[in-house]
Chain A
Amino acid sequence: AQKVTQAQTEISVVEKEDVTLDCVYETRDTTYYLFWYKQPPSGELVFLIRRNSFDEQNEISGRYSWNFQKSTSSFNFTITASQVVDSAVYFCALIGDNAGKSTFGDGTTLTVKP
């Protein structure tokens, strides 16, 4: 069985602060993919980043960066210099090697105050 845990239910920061969202996963698959999605108040889930299990290289894309560590089964996501428009619910998700269903965490609600 697969499981994704987002221990942080809610985070509140002031604009321009950096914020890291934590994600811990469990899977028995040797090949898997990890994702972060953003769900703004409008409700539509928006894809942000993807990483496969064979690529632990951490990258930066604009204000987003991620830290994937297989040794600790963690896939953390950082927003640098947060903005009010970053306020949303953020979901971490896992797809196993059957490339079918995703398992989602319960989300972290990020509030960025001006």
Chain B
Amino acid sequence: DTGVSQNPRHKITKRGQNVTFRCDPISEHNRLYWYRQTLGQGPEFLTYFQNEAQLEKSRLLSDRFSAERPKGSFSTLEIQRTEQGDSAMYLCASSFGIGYTFGSGTRLTVV
């Protein structure tokens, strides 16, 4: 197991298109988190799962954002009708207990 894997690493999309990102956590980790990071800022919490249950969602997660974690394994984050303001690094992390292991992130650019 080589850590948390995120795909794709980079995504360029046109405004209005839908995009989907995938995160594969460390296999024995039961919690999975999504964060968004814009330039010059710290990561901002979006949502997290314990196994397959989505336990908390940030107000940042508008109706255009949806996240799933079927069967408590990998997770997907979908953004519908992308806007330029969605351009950011999307980080996934997993944990078993306190403390995260982060993936390398997916950098989204909306043009």
Contact = CB atoms under 8 A, between A and B. Distances in A.
Interface of A: 4, 33, 35, 37, 42-47, 50, 52, 91, 93, 95, 99-107
8 contacts: A33-B98, A33-B99, A42-B104, A47-B100, A91-B43, A99-B98, A100-B55, A107-B42
Interface of A is mostly: strand
Contacts of B102: 37, 44-47
B55 A104 contact: no
Interface of B: 33, 35, 40-45, 48, 55-56, 58, 89, 91, 93, 97-105, 107
Nearest to A43: B105
A45 B43 contact: yes
B105 A106 contact: no
